[in-house]
Amino acid sequence: MTIAAEPLVSIIVPVYNVTSYIDACLASIKQQTYKNIEIIVVEDCSTDDSKQALTPHLTDKRIKVIQHNENSGLSAARNTGIKSAIGEYMMFVDSDDIVDIRLVAACVDCALTTNAEVVTYGFVPFKEGVAETELPYPAASLAFDAARIDDSYFSLPHFAWLKFIRSSVVRSASLHFPVGLYYEDWPFHWHLGLSAKVRYQLPIDFYLYRQRGTSITGSTDKKLLDLFVIHSEVINLVESYQADKVKKILANKVRQSHWSILTRIDNEYLAMALAQAKKADKTLRLKGYESDLTLRHLMISNIVRMPSQVALSMLQVLRQALDKRARMKG
């Protein structure tokens, strides 16, 4: 790859209370085999020693630290990074995760040879506390072919950190993350896919995702209610783009979310979740969103459409049965 063909890549890293992880994260980014990068660290008013932990890394002139004046959350930190990015391409790395040092090079090569506006790649989780020598890096040999993906993009995981993006797409579509809500990757994923016309996928698990006990993905509390707001935003996006071909994919994801929410959420929020699921179910039917007729989809849809008291009773029976099965397996 010649110097002229080495576009600048902006890597956005939000930081909040990650003292134990930030060194490994930044090391994996700084050691990228592709060198023309800017590393935008957005420090979101950590209450631990994260800010101090950044100091040794500042000798690398590619790192720029932006300090928030008050804690504003992951979405706001990412939005700050987007506004500051000057690279032709951009990507996100969460500050407790690790990336393979060949990730950026592979993405740039794919983007330049295919004219891709979005390049996606895989991830592999690893347990907190795993030794450096046991991390699940990809094999040393990276012989693979990038594959163009059509609407199957929308079936991919929503995570923002699985996308390498041409910055002009982000600017022209005014892509951003919703502030004040959890599960913020949903609308970004869908809006990006609806805006980008050329999408490619690399069949390599370049991203190492740290599984922490505090992860939002394992939440059972009130945070789960944000999903109903997020789903509504995504439905509005699909409607505004008149993207009828992806309605079924979205319906399947929403139905699966309803199952997850209604079988996992803390009991004190179950009635609230049911009420929101009823509204969402009505919206899906009115707008013509049909999902696959899987057992889970049928079960949860039928329960949601029952009178509220009956539905709550049925949900309690279902939750107890699932809990019993989980305990037997455990």
pLDDT tens column, 292-322: 999 999 999 999 999 999 999 999 999 999 9
- pLDDT-derived band at 215 (thresholds 50, 70, 90) equals low
pTM: 0.94
Mean pLDDT (whole number) for 16-24: 97
What would the pLDDT profile of 46-58 be if each residue is shown by its tens digit? 999 999 999 999 9
**pLDDT score of 143:** 78
Using the predicted structure, report yes or no on whether residue 216 has a pLDDT greater than 70.
no
**Do the Cβ atoms of 90 and 82 come closer than 8 Å?**
yes
How far, in Å, CA of 5 to CA of 1, rounded?
6
- pLDDT-derived band at 217 (thresholds 50, 70, 90) equals low
Mean pLDDT (whole number) for 67-83: 98
Mean pLDDT (whole number) for 4-10: 87
* Cβ-proximal residues to 225 (8 Å cutoff; 6+ apart), any chain: 261, 265, 269, 272, 273, 276
- pLDDT-derived band at 2 (thresholds 50, 70, 90) equals very low
* Cβ-proximal residues to 62 (8 Å cutoff; 6+ apart), any chain: 30, 37, 38, 39
Residue position matching structure tokens 């959890």: 182
How far, in Å, CA of 120 to CA of 163, rounded?
5
**pLDDT score of 139:** 83
Mean pLDDT (whole number) for 35-53: 98
What would the pLDDT profile of 134-190 be if each residue is shown by its tens digit? 898 998 877 788 999 999 999 999 999 999 999 999 999 999 999 999 999 999 999
Q: What percent of the chain stands above pLDDT 70? A: 97
**Do the Cβ atoms of 88 and 165 come closer than 8 Å?**
no
- pLDDT-derived band at 212 (thresholds 50, 70, 90) equals confident
How far, in Å, CA of 93 to CA of 101, rounded?
13
How far, in Å, CA of 112 to CA of 130, rounded?
35
Q: How many residues does the chain have?
A: 330
Using the predicted structure, report yes or no on whether residue 3 has a pLDDT greater than 50.
no
